[in-house]
Amino acid sequence: MKTLLRLLLKTQHQRNRSGQAKTEKGMTLVELLVGAIMAFIIITPMLGFVVDMLNTDRREQVKSNTEQDLQAAVDFIAQDLSQAIYIYDNNPATTSTPTTTPTGIPAIRNFIPTTDPNQTPILVFWKRQLLKNSIPLTAGIQPNDCNTNACNDTYVLSLVAYYQIKETNSNSIWCQPSGGTCPTRIVRYQIQDGLRDPNSTNPDPSQRYFTDVSDGQKRSSAFYIGSSTLPGFDISKPTENVTNGAASFANPDVRSEVLLNYIDHNSPGPAVTGNECTTALGTPTTQTGITIPETTLKITDSSSPTPTNSFYACVDTARNLARVTIRGNSLRRLQADANYNPNSSAFFPTASVQVQGRGARGQ
């Protein structure tokens, strides 16, 4: 009997202990709601802070990229200009008088595009293009054989033109992200003369050229082709017979490359000092001592209703001196609506370079 009672008590005691161990208390609905609200209040500002940091970092990154691209572009232009022998200013043919000779881009005939308001020549010059190991020392040898024969280096004339082109197709790769006003870009064109054969006896000077040449030595078909009755280009007359017609830059052998995109498209953008070129170039004068006007020195996208002055050149032709300024638009890399605002001027970086050509006509 005692044994049975002891067993019953032991069993009951184990049941009581088991029941207490399994007892758990859950969260009420009110507690869940309070916790969710507190988490929302804490996490939302943190998410906004993180998103703002990411956006700021992205804007700073594109700003840095734009500054680097601008610096690389002006460095390239500076190296190109250092070989210039004649730089065109903005002196037009319409102001030509017995004492004023047209020297500028408006005076160039057969130079295209001249009527397209979306394509403006800003910096145009002739340079001496070095072609290494290209002129055979032995008659009958062609330039293509210079790899196995002795040859000399030589120079040829090249016409270089930097254009500001305004993109009008919002779906173009040059207008991304699409929408809004597309940015402008700088395109470099080069028209190169060919290799003259020093041993040629052809009576027509336009035919005294090597025919077996590589692509880098070939005379561009856009270069004015002279003949005995229609003389070709003469560097002593830089505004005559510049190219061979209105479709010059449409020729497939004209070298072209996009130098820089995301140039500021805004109008008018930051204010530009009225006599900036006159001051920067040291107030140049003519041979008679007359100060050259700003309109002759400065070349910008004047074909537009309101020039943007986002890519322009100051040129003193007489001293073979040029100053080039480019203003980028880093915000256009991120958004379609990227108009200039003085409060965000840091995102519209500017780079300038001033170079004097090392050569001159006749040298």
pLDDT tens string 152-204: 888 888 899 999 988 888 889 999 888 888 889 999 988 888 888 888 888 87
Instruction: Report if residue 255 sits inside a domain.
Output: yes
Instruction: Report if residue 8 sits inside a domain.
Output: no
Q: Rg (Cα) of the chain, in Å, rounded?
A: 35
Instruction: Report if residue 266 sits inside a domain.
Output: yes
Instruction: Report if residue 20 sits inside a domain.
Output: no
Instruction: Report if residue 111 sits inside a domain.
Output: yes
C-alpha dihedral, 116 to 120 to 126 to 132, nearest 10°:
-90
> CA-to-CA distance for 293 and 214, rounded, in angstroms?
45
> CA-to-CA distance for 361 and 236, rounded, in angstroms?
7
Residues 58, 63, 64, 65, CA torsion sign: positive
* Residue-level pLDDT at 143: 86
Query: What is the arithmetic mean of pLDDT over 322-347?
Result: 88
Q: Per residue in 7-40, pLDDT tens? A: 555 665 565 555 554 555 666 777 778 778 877 7
Query: What is the arithmetic mean of pLDDT over 111-140?
Result: 81
Model confidence at 1: pLDDT above 60: no
Q: Which of 110, 74, 84, 96 minimizes the C-alpha distance to 260?
A: 74
Kindly state the tokens that stand for 121: 């020549």
Q: Which of 160, 176, 191 minimizes the C-alpha distance to 324?
A: 160
Q: Per residue in 38-85, pLDDT tens? A: 777 777 777 777 677 777 778 888 899 999 999 999 999 999 999 999
> CA-to-CA distance for 243 and 249, rounded, in angstroms?
9
Model confidence at 303: pLDDT above 60: no
Residue 141's pLDDT band (cuts 50, 70, 90) = confident
User: Which residues make Cβ contacts (< 8 Å) with residue 165, sequence separation at least 6?
Assistant: 118, 119, 120, 184, 185, 186, 187
Q: Which of 81, 103, 79, 73 minimizes the C-alpha distance to 357?
A: 81
Domain coverage including residue 232? 50-356
* Residue-level pLDDT at 352: 94
Instruction: Report if residue 36 sits inside a domain.
Output: no
Residue 351's pLDDT band (cuts 50, 70, 90) = very high
pTM: 0.81
Instruction: Report if residue 118 sits inside a domain.
Output: yes
Residue type, 332: R
* Residue-level pLDDT at 326: 94
Domain count, the chain: 1
User: Which residues make Cβ contacts (< 8 Å) with residue 105, sequence separation at least 6?
Assistant: 88, 89, 90, 111, 121, 124, 299
Residue 260 β-bridge partners: 186
Instruction: Report if residue 352 sits inside a domain.
Output: yes
Strand segments, DSSP code E, in 224-347 are 255-263, 298-299, 311-316, 321-327
